[in-house]
Amino acid sequence: MRYFLKTLFRGLLLIAIMVGIVAFAGWKATGGQSSLAAPLNNLRASMLNTAGSILSNFQIGNFKIDTSKLIGQQKEVKPKTTDSTIPIESNVASLTLSNTYYYHFQEGTPQSVKNVFLQAINTYNNTGIVKLVPGTASGMQNSIAMGTYNQNTTNVQGDTVDMELGKGGPESFQSTLGDWVHGSAKLNVYYPAATSVSVATHELGHALGLGHSSDPQSVMYPTDQGMTQLTQGDLSTLRTIYSNGSTNDTTTNNNNQ
């Protein structure tokens, strides 16, 4: 018995040293020396197999070592595609997103702007594809901040007058634990025409991942046509973005309506 314990202690000590070497090798591989990943993986697998042989010699039961998670593994990315006329914003095309968003209005947002955004929110919630709820997101939850800016963007070219009525879009985040988005949607109050349901619906669509459409009937057409209802193309792209996502808890702490 004493001999067994003494030998077992030596064996465990050897395994601890091996684990330390493997950990150091993993640290070096993730420190930018990606060319060493394959040799280090082989070294790690060899050490783990040796450790398994040592333990099996002690006859202390079955011992299984998983060598599938080797150094240098990366998350597989498969960008989503759609046959719709509305493309997906490029930085969310490869994400797996929850369909729940927590939204809030930035400080100083006029009630008139809140009202048109709230109508746009109802339009998206009525699809059953996404859920926008008032509150503050935490951790890896999706969020949307809505508000205003004031900027003269008038550009005259011949008989054409261009002006920016709003802007919106998603900021994307990826990790091994999940993907999430911080979106924003703002109306340019320099122009009275910007405070409208059609502009709010358009910018909110960008925050949710919808790109510009070539269909003048779509709310995502780049020039405001006064459209407030989602087309089948809008809905198709929205479903594609959130096809593989889950639904987060919709409990909220702060109501910013």
Percent residues over pLDDT 90 in the chain: 58
Q: What is the pLDDT of residues 150-205, one digit of tens each?
A: 999 999 999 899 999 999 999 999 999 999 999 999 999 999 999 999 999 999 99
Say if CB 233 and CB 127 are below 8 A apart: no
Do 18 and 127 lie in one domain? The reply is no
Phi, psi of 33 (to 5 degrees): -90, 65
Query: Which pLDDT does position 159 carry in this prediction?
Result: 87
Give the mean pLDDT of 20-33: 49
Residue 157 CA: distances (Å) to CA of 161, 163, 193, 201: 6, 11, 20, 27
Pull the structure tokens for residue 90.
């490029």
What long-range pairs does 51-55 form, CB within 8 A, spacing at least 24?
A: 51/14, 51/15, 51/18, 54/11, 54/14, 54/15, 55/11, 55/15
| Mean pLDDT to the nearest integer, 8-29 | 52
Q: Does 76 map to a domain?
A: no
- Computed over every residue of the chain, the mean pLDDT equals 78
The residue length of the chain stands at 257
Q: Looking at the structure, do residues 48 and 107 belong to the same domain, yes or no?
A: no
Q: Quick one: how many helices (H) and strands (E) in the chain?
A: 5, 7
In a domain, 92, yes or no: no
Please tell me what DSSP assigns to residue 159. Answer: T
Residues 11 and 114 in one domain: no
Domain count, the chain: 2
Q: What is the mean pLDDT of residues 76-98?
A: 78
Same domain, 35 and 161: no
In the prediction, which pLDDT does 255 show? 52
The pLDDT of residue 75 is above 50: no
How large is the average pLDDT for residues 74-101? Answer: 77
Cα(first)–Cα(last) distance of the chain, in Å? Answer: 72
Tell me, yes or no, whether 82 lies in a domain.
no
Q: Quick one: 137 and 10 in the same domain?
A: no
Specify the CATH number for the domain of residue 169: 3.40.390.10
pTM, rounded to two decimals:
0.67
Reduce the DSSP state of residue 210 to 3 states and report it.
strand
Residue 96 has pLDDT above 70, yes or no: yes
Does the structure show a pLDDT above 50 at 87? Answer: yes
Q: Which domain holds residue 136?
A: 100-241
Rounded CA-CA distance 213/144 in Å is: 21
Task: Give the pLDDT of residue 85.
Answer: 73
Maximum Cα interatomic distance, the chain, rounded to a whole number of Å = 97
Q: Is residue 84 part of a domain?
A: no
